Chain A
């Protein structure tokens, strides 16, 4: 799927990849990051 121009909801996880790391990668693709969350299961 072409990600450039898409609106991305980044759902990270505290014990894995955090939301902000996903968001940085998505911005490098040319996607618009519209929400960033980092879930915590602890």
Chain B
């Protein structure tokens, strides 16, 4: 996760607190997804950005996950995400999220 987004998330949590905040990812690269999830929960694993050593503990989900899709309006989801579901490796992303949460 780039330092700019780390700074953004840190600022939001500093200003509003972490309650009820969820980070929703859209990246397609499984490794990037895993690193992003780790970064907002446990801190920047590369120890270079503003979240180095900062454990925000924020929940992270990915827009491709079934739990997200099931809660969304079906028409909106299809219009906004349907194309990407057909062209990107959604199973790889889902597996990365399970690994990031320690479920796999």
Q: Tell me the complex Cα distance, A29–B65, Å.
A: 14
Question: Total interface residues on B, using CB and 8 Å?
Answer: 35
- Judge if B67 is at the interface, Cβ distance under 8 Å: yes
Per-residue contact bits, chain B 24-47, to A (CB 8 Å; 1 contact, 0 not)? 111111001000100000000000
Count A-B pairs with CB separation below 8 Å: 105
Per-residue contact bits, chain A 1-42, to B (CB 8 Å; 1 contact, 0 not)? 111111111111101111101101111110100110101000
Q: Could you say which residues of chain A place their CB within 8 Å of the CB of B61? A: 1, 3
Main secondary structure of the interface of A (DSSP, over half): mixed
Report yes or no: A13 in contact with B27, Cβ–Cβ below 8 A: yes
Report yes or no: B80 in contact with A29, Cβ–Cβ below 8 A: no
Which chain B residues have a beta carbon within 8 Å of chain A's beta carbons?
1-2, 5, 8-9, 12, 16, 20-29, 32, 36, 59, 61, 63-64, 67-68, 71-73, 76-77, 79-81, 84, 88
